[in-house]
Structure 1
Amino acid sequence: MMTPEILIRDEVPDDVADICDVTVAAFESMEISNHTEQFVIDALRAANALTLSLVAEVNGQVVGHIAFSPVTISDGTDNWYGLGPVSVLPVYQRKGIGSALIEKGLSRLKDLGAKGCCLVGHPLYYRRFGFDSVVGLGLPGVPDEAFFVLSFGYPIRQGVVAFHEGFNATGS
């Protein structure tokens, strides 16, 4: 099968419904999901906390999305961001679209002067982008092996990370 041509671009208002649909579909069969990811994105958008919201298009159809939002670190370190959620329609998964979204998003964060990025995710997937677990920096309630950070050339501080309150959205 031929690899699809992927266009990565900024979200526009007309993408909101497609982003919701992609996100719901991407997480629908994931047992580790609470199935609230679409509500998280909506809450981040409503709070103007989406620093980056990128979509992946194939043949004019939105097939993927990634969100980046500010995080706080208890030691006062600023200009760090959280990655997530990242979603790709199931039929387009394993075709490089998620990787393209992550790479483009990380590049754009660096261009914005970000110091680093963190996420909760699968160890075998995110290490390939340079993410790693770090002793002394974590997220309460998340095992160290599922919390990852990537510094953009700055010292990694110690402390507790807090994602935006939009991550608590449940849709109810």
Structure 2
Amino acid sequence: MLIRTEAPADILAVDRLLKSAFDTEAEANLVMKLRENGRRSLSLVASTDEGEVVGYLLFSPVTLNGEDFNWQGLAPLAVKEEFRGQGIAAQLIEEGFASLFELGYPACVVLGDPAYYSRFGFVSAEQHNMHCKWEVPAGAFQVKTLAEDEFSGRSGLVEYSSEFDTL
């Protein structure tokens, strides 16, 4: 399995993957809008030795109380159904964190299953007095620091870019 930065030649394969991995086309449409509007900070693909794209991960900017601290939101994350359970999503996430850190992005947020994302160091945003604008189950909105003390003295509303409002 090769984890690499998404290339322009991957766009159609990623679109097909997202449409097959989710119940609706909302995530695929979101990714297209984020690309078109220049809101994609980092996107990674997982491909087989034959070059088939079987996994995808995107990071896009988020703000805290309207201020840009270079934080990133992880969404979406998808793995082709027949390749699930092989650790591909975990590889994408770990490679993504390493790349974000190297690029100088100090924190990441995610809206997802706490049992899954806590394995990667995410904690409930509530622990840092942070929240998102959507009503979500307790613990589902989570944060992770990539740089030491990034959350020190910070709290409030974390907002994704406006493209997420259409989900």
TM-score between both structures, scaled by the size of structure 1:
0.88
Offset at residue 37 of structure 1 (A): 0.4
Which residue type is aligned with residue 139 of structure 1? C
In 2: Cα distance, 1:129 partner to 1:150 partner: 8
Offset at residue 169 of structure 1 (A): 3.9
Counterpart position of 2:157: 160
Mapping of residues 1-172 of structure 1, within 5 Å: 6-28=1-23, 35-59=25-49, 60-74=51-65, 76=67, 78-135=69-126, 136-141=129-134, 142-152=136-146, 153-156=148-151, 157-169=154-166
Unpaired segments ≥5 residues, structure 2: none
Q: How many residues align?
A: 160
Q: 1:34-73: per-residue Cα shift (whole Å, max 9, x none)?
A: 5410011001100111100110001210001000001011
> 4+ residue stretches of structure 1 with deviation over 4 A?
none
> Is residue 115–residue 154 contact of structure 1 (8 Å, CA) maintained in 2?
no
> Is residue 80–residue 117 contact of structure 1 (8 Å, CA) maintained in 2?
yes
TM-score between both structures, scaled by the size of structure 2:
0.90
Percent identity over the alignment? Answer: 37
> Is residue 139–residue 161 contact of structure 1 (8 Å, CA) maintained in 2?
yes
Q: Counterpart of 1:145 in 2: which secondary structure? A: coil
Offset at residue 155 of structure 1 (A): 3.2
Q: 1:89-112: per-residue Cα shift (whole Å, max 9, x none)?
A: 000011011000000011100111
Residue 154 to residue 77, structure 1, CA distance change in 2 (3 Å) = farther
Offset at residue 168 of structure 1 (A): 2.7
Unpaired segments ≥5 residues, structure 1: 1-5, 29-33
Q: Counterpart of 1:43 in 2: which secondary structure? A: helix
Q: 1:111-150: per-residue Cα shift (whole Å, max 9, x none)?
A: 1111100010011110000001032101022233110100
Q: CA RMSD in A?
A: 1.4
